[in-house]
Every structure is written in structure tokens, then in C-alpha cells.
Amino acid sequence: MGVLYEFGPDFTMIDKRVASIEQALTGIEDGSVILVGGFGNAGSPIPLLEALIDQGATDLTIVSNNAGEGDFGLAALMRAGRINKMICSYPRSSGSVIFEELYDQGKIDLEVVPQGTLSERMRAAGAGIGGFFTPTSAGTLLAEGKETREIDGKLHVLEHPLKGDVALIKADLADRWGNLTYNKSARNFGPTMAMAAELTVTQVRQIVDLGDIDPELVVTPGIFVDRVVEIGA
């Protein structure tokens, strides 16, 4: 799952663009932990998820805010039997029929993580932090089996980093170095997931020339991005 660019005498040779979705997903292996951007449909990389069905990887662990809805995107990947486990904050939402059916049948495992904790666990992975204590979930079923500690008179739970083998995210603009901008709230988990994965694959509305993105507007620097594919709107 190597990075698709070459080094020359300087960084002008870096080119993270790929020609197709199929090429963008090359090398994703069975059993991978995949971080999937999106808050509901906002920022969800639906074309990448649906192309992953044809790519063939299975026995996947998916980390996402939601557990899919309708019969497209993440839900389509579930229906194809490719997902073994979901790690998410909202397993039930409007239209999450496929997940609910699979879970009731014992065909998919679930780990519920509070939304802020989910984001911070991925941020910790990206930052190289070994873990953190949080009062969130202390004293609840979600804290069972976890180390706890009283800090300033309040019970805290130890949470560990959540790292991905792959991140599939959606951005707005990219250049060939992989610098990314996002469309408002569609950024959601994208920047954090890009930092926390070994391989980050990004679908974008448009790939622009170097220099066309104001550096002040770059949200995810190209150092955290490996492959960029232009999908359109």
C-alpha cells in the first residue's frame, strides 16, 4: 500500500494524484481497520466505499461516526458482507436498517464510543500519544473493563489511541501534493482520520494546480495524504 509518488531532487516531483477510484483503493487488505469520514452523509466518501465492494477486501473493521443509512455507501458495504465490526458513536440513526438487521442476526460486532472520545482517540493516534484520561463514560457500561483514575475528585477513564490501516475521506479541493480544503461541515472527522491512518485515500471535487490553494486555507497538509482522486461534485 505504498505512496504513489516519487522523490526527485526536490519536492516538485511529489504527485499524489491517481487516475481512478480503483487505483486509489489498490492494496487495501482483508482485515484492515478503515477510518471512514462523514457525519451522516455530510463528508461521507460514498464512491470510495461502494468501489471497495468491487475491490474485494473483507473482514473489515470500520471506524465511523454512524453505522450507515439507506442502501448506499457504508450500508452497501455492510450488505455485501464485507464488514466484521463497527466502531462508532451512533449505530442507530434514521435509515440504519441494514446495520440493525445484521446486528440482530449476530453477523456484525459493535463497539460504541462516545463521539468526542472517538475523535480524541484518533487524534491521539495521529499525535503519537499513548492514551488519555477522560470523564466521559465514567460509571457507565462503556467504561467496563477499562482503567479508571480519580483526578481532581472526578472519576476518569483511560482511553487508548485508535489507529487505522486506511482512512477514506472526502475533501473539496486538493493539489498534487495532497494539500486539502473542505466544504464547511463536511470536513468533520476528515483531518483527524488523515493523521491517524497509515494510508489516507481522499476523494475530492476538484484537483487544482499547485499554488491555487491559499496556504492559509489548507486544513489537511499533504504530509498526511497519500492518494487523491477527483470525483467531482
112 — phi, psi (to 5°)?
A: -90, 130
Per the CB < 8 A criterion, the answer to whether 156 and 133 are in contact is yes
* Residues linked to residue 88 through DSSP beta bridges, in sequence order: 112
Mean pLDDT rounded to a whole number for the chain: 93
pLDDT reading at 199 higher than 60: yes
- Chain-centroid distance of CA 157 in Å reads 24
pTM of the model: 0.92
Helix/strand/coil (H/E/C) assignment for every residue in 63-93:
ECCECCCCCCCHHHHHHCCCEEEEEECECCC
Rg (CA), the chain: 18
DSSP letters for 135-179: STTTTSGGGTTS-EEEETTEEEEEE----EEEEEEEEEEE-TT--
Q: What domains are defined for the chain?
A: 29-113+162-230 (3.40.1080.10)
Instruction: Evaluate if residue 1 carries a pLDDT over 80.
Output: no
Q: Are 229 and 201 in contact (CB under 8 A)?
A: yes
Intra-chain end-to-end CA distance of the chain, in Å: 27
pLDDT at res. 10: 56
pLDDT at 7 over 50: no
Q: What pLDDT is attached to residue 2?
A: 43
Task: Give the distance, in angstroms, between the CA of residue 167 and the centroid of all CA atoms in the same chain.
Answer: 4
Of 10-14, 88-92, 167-171, minimum mean pLDDT range: 10-14
Q: What is the pLDDT of residues 212-227, one digit of tens each?
A: 999 999 999 999 999 9
The answer, yes or no, to whether residue 160 has pLDDT greater than 90, is yes
Q: Dump pLDDT digits (tens) for 108-132.
A: 999 999 999 999 999 999 999 999 9
Range with the lowest mean pLDDT among 51-55, 63-67, 91-95, 154-158?
91-95
H or E segment to which residue 117 belongs: helix 115-127
> What does the pLDDT read at residue 108?
96
Q: Are strands 60-63 and 83-88 parallel, antiparallel or unpaired?
A: parallel
Residue identified by cell 493539489 is 175
Q: β-strands 180-181, 197-207: how paired?
A: unpaired
